[in-house]
Structure 1
Amino acid sequence: MHRTRTLAGPLALAVGAGLVLAGGTGTGTAQAAEDRNVARNAGFESGLTGWTCSANSGTTVTSPVHGGAAALKATPAGLDHAKCSQTVAVLPDSTYQLSAWVQGGYAYLGASGTGTTDVSTWTPGSTGWQQLSTSFRTGPSTTSVTVYTHGWYGQAAYHADDVSVFGPDGGGDGDPDPVVPAPPSGLAAGAVTSSSVALSWSPVSGAAGYHVYRDGTRVQSVSGTSATVTGLTADTSYGFQVSAHNAAGESARSAAVTARTAPGGTDPNPNVPKHAVTGYWQNFDNGARVQKLRDVQAQYDIIAVSFADSTATPGQIVFNLDPAVGYASVADFKADIAAKKAAGKSVIISVGGEKGNVTINSDASATAFADSAYALMREYGFDGVDIDLEHGINSTYLTKALRQLSAKAGPGMVLTMAPQTIDMQNTGTEYFKTALAVKDILTVVNMQYYNSGSMLGCDGKVYAQGSVDFLTALACIQLQNGLDPSQVGLGVPASPRGAGSGYVDPSVVKNALDCLTRGTGCGSFKPSRTWPSLRGAMTWSTNWDATAGNAWSDAVGPHVHNLP
């Protein structure tokens, strides 16, 4: 939860240097019939054949991959930013569409030697695959262009796959033209709510993504093999189909599956108020005031016990009560949980944190997580779980794990998440995909609006952390891309000592809450609408709040509880 890494430096440098962020220069002419992908070994299926990587920074891996069986992994080191490039044959005075799928650390895609204006585009990193794309036009005598990917100094390794330089054949030995993929198979409906249906299907070879249809109308496009269709009417039957697509076109639609939404009017978490305050309770002593659960301030509606520990069995978690907290026995701790629940609070076990890591990347590890988490719920009386995994997640298997846990725990389970800002920049990230895939059992996503540096808001502008605009413009991304307002909360430090950066005064938190729910108190960014049912706010931590004299909960708590 408490992290010190900052993203501000490279982002500020890239923007300050006038980096082209989107699009190319090509005004374009109609492409000829012989257009093709002129890149060689575009999917890295033949290792690094055709590619040159600086300082031996590149290699090929079998996981993660976007398509096929291999992808590029390139690792910046020292002053080297892991540039991998190849020279492609092109025709003069022609327009080419350049794209690649990337994930991991900062990733750049560009073309140089175009004979006109060189282009580049980039992304600040993600845990899921994202497509970078731009275009360029060749000069009157240009017959070759260098295309490249690279990372950024001091950042994590990036992955790239399925590079495309699509345009007139320049006479080189580029990869074969893509073919339209086959229709998806195995479409199935999963969990339903009164307003949503979860869908999943089998992957299709050569597909770059999938379109989802509801009763014949396209309603969603995704890169993975699952989606949750929202905005549906309660107790209503719908027909769904999916298609696969790539650069060559769209497949026929799959066989249809029918699902009926649940009746309305049920509250899956009756103890969680409409507007709730979440606080993390520290099961360790790091200089903040040591608390027993009984001492946690009354303003907190959801108390996340931090943290569970992993075992040698992938996916399995346990809880070890730290003697530093001062409990005479585990039984006393359990009694405090029971007392908080009797007072109408929800007490959940948090998984992850800055140092904790639980690997859920297979069916076996998903089951191990669900079984062990449910065992902790039964042993200690926890109401649910919080997912605060900060070292990368696999949306497919984490979704399976959470659904298995929900099936065991029942509809009253409280499920919260605390992703970092980079994890919720778009619906293609693994965290965002997970949140949407479990939307029907999800209580709230309390994104951490700190320790991140500047980030993009929903309007495409860059906002610096520590401002009301940072809170509102980033929350807007979640609110506009599938999460219900009741599933969005603002996660902030309780005091300047609670995080390395990003602390905001409680007055800023209150302004952001008012901006999002009432349309007042906004900064330079003002959303086009309001979301009165926004869930509320979260803080790290109840201990740091107590250290600062409960200044955060005394100010923010009543404000949250008095939202519309």
Structure 2
Amino acid sequence: MHASFANGSGYIPLADVPDSWDVIDLAFAEPTSPTSGQIDFTLCPASECPNVESADAFKAAVKAKQAEGKKVLVSIGGANGKVQLTTAAARDTFVASVSHIIDTYGLDGVDIDFENDSLALDKGDTDFRAPTTPSIVNLIAALKTLKAKYGAGFTLTMAPETFFVQLGHQFYGPGASGTEDPRAGAYLPVLYALRDDLSLLTVQDYNSGPIMGLDGQYHTMGGADFPIAMTDMLLAGFSVAGDTTRMFPPLRPDQVAIGLPASVNAGGGYIAPAAMTQTLDCLTRNTDCGTYTPHGTWPALRGLMAWSINWDAFAGGEFAKTFDTYFG
């Protein structure tokens, strides 16, 4: 949900978030500067969100949602929140400031939504299993520290774009020539290092260019084919930069949810409810897959993520209704 801004979709007090949503990411906590490591979170100003609740009411709503079995997380980054933990000092400041947000609001954990060039690989950093780029090494260390601090109940989710994950099947960082896009596949070392701590990965299957799937074909957003192919990669595993000696291993299906726009307003790549249902049928039942043949059947697939609760409400709640109908 949009907690720090309205973005044209309208503000929803946390207490009014529909029951459909089991994991609620509060968007967004942002850095004071890209390399400071200092992450701040504030509720939407009343000038933008006239119906914003007080801090005390917000904290009470967090507790009420948790009492209903929901998880409430702070989402760090977003399109405007560039975070690069290039130094040990920034790493430690990140841990301290994120801990302060978690403790202040009584949250369950964090969502890492680093976009743009928050994560980029240095030249010569070619193995996702042993990264050397400081901003990536420090992010991994910071998240492991937070997990250790808060224990087994700490919820860690990530919402990268396809460019940072599935594109790594073709391209990884600057490549041997040092001239390719250093952001390509840059989430892979983070996901790999934290795979045992990761609660949920919700790759954004939207706002994406064509991506090559495991079938060697390019898949384009906007229909069921795209999330089917992109999710199949996460659940089957894939070679990185075409090197079959460097395989990104599959995630557990209970760690994976499919990220989609909640409405046509929410981002490019919106797919209609029928295509959402087709995607789930294909991956969990191996039916209605169209021209794509997945590499398995995963009835334990975690579900769907939407950007966003607010945009879904703006569009009449169609995304949540489809989700609720499908899963009963």
TM-score normalised over the length of structure 1: 0.48
Q: Within 2, Cα distance between the matches of 1:491 and 1:370?
A: 27
Q: Which runs of 5+ in 2 are unaligned?
A: 120-134, 173-184, 238-248
8 Å contact kept, 1:316–1:358: no
Superposed displacement of residue 396, structure 1: 1.5
| Greater C-alpha radius of gyration | 1
CA distance in 1, matches of 2:149, 2:40: 17
Pairwise mapping of residues 36-435 of structure 1 onto structure 2 (< 5 A)?
Answer: 280-312=1-33, 314-323=36-45, 324-325=48-49, 326-390=51-115, 391-393=117-119, 394-425=135-166, 426=168, 428=172, 429-435=185-191
User: SS at 2:203's partner residue?
Assistant: strand
Aligned-pair distance for 1:328?
A: 4.6
Distance 1:286 1:478 in 2: 31
CA distance in 2, matches of 1:374, 1:470: 36
Alpha-carbon contact 2:85-2:138 (below 8 Å) kept? yes
One-letter amino acid matched to 1:486? D
Stretches (4+) displaced over 4 A: none
Q: Deviations over 1:488-511 (max 9, x none)?
A: 111011100111x10001221121
Aligned to 1:473: 229
The answer to whether the 8 A contact 1:302-1:347 is kept is yes
What is the aligned length?
281
Matches within 5 A, 1:476-491: 476-481=232-237, 482=249, 483-491=251-259
Cα deviation 1:230-288 (Å, max 9, x = unaligned): xxxxxxxxxxxxxxxxxxxxxxxxxxxxxxxxxxxxxxxxxxxxxxxxxx434212211
Match of 1:103 in 2: none
- Give how far 1:346 is off: 0.4
Considering fraction of residues, name the structure with more strand: 1
Q: Secondary structure at the match of 2:112?
A: strand
Change (3 A) 1:339 1:488: same
Higher helix fraction (1 or 2): 2
Contact 1:498/1:544 (CA < 8 Å) preserved in 2?
A: yes
From 531, 534, 541, the equivalent of 2:301 is 534
Shift of 1:303: 0.3
Q: What residue in structure 2 maps to residue 453 of structure 1? A: 209
Deviation at 1:300, TM superposition (A): 0.3
Cα pair 2:261 2:306 within 8 Å, conserved: yes
Partner-residue secondary structure (3-state), 2:265: helix
SS of match in other structure, 1:334 = helix
Q: Which amino acid aligns with 2:19?
A: A
Matched residues in 1 for 2:277 and 2:87: separation? Answer: 41
Q: What's the offset of the Cα at 1:528? A: 3.0
Report the CA distance between 1:309 and its aligned residue.
2.1
Alpha-carbon spacing, 1:558–1:366, altered in 2? closer, same or farther (3 Å):
farther
Deviation per CA, 1:119-138, whole angstroms, max 9, x where unpaired?
xxxxxxxxxxxxxxxxxxxx
Q: Percent identity?
A: 40
Give the match for residue 273 of structure 2: 506
Give CA deviations for 1:183-240 in whole Å, capped at 9, x if unaligned.
xxxxxxxxxxxxxxxxxxxxxxxxxxxxxxxxxxxxxxxxxxxxxxxxxxxxxxxxxx
SS in 2 for 1:479: helix
Q: Secondary structure at the match of 1:416?
A: strand
Distance, in Å, in 1 between the alignment partners of 2:87 and 2:253 is: 31
Contact (CA 8 Å) 1:494, 1:542: kept in 2 or not?
yes
Post-superposition CA distance 1:501-545 (Å, at most 9, x none): 100012211211121111012121021321121111100111111
SS in 2 for 1:447: coil
Q: Which residue of 2 aligns with 1:496?
A: 264
Q: Deviations over 1:421-473 (max 9, x none)?
A: 11112375221221111011101110111111211112221011112111111
Amino acid in structure 2 at the alignment position of 1:352: G
Specify which of 531, 537, 548 is matched with residue 315 of structure 2. 548
- CA RMSD, aligned part only? 1.6
* Residues in 2 aligned to 1:526 and 1:328: alpha-carbon distance in whole angstroms: 48
The 8 Å contact of residues 4 and 41 in structure 2, kept in 1 or not, is answered as: no
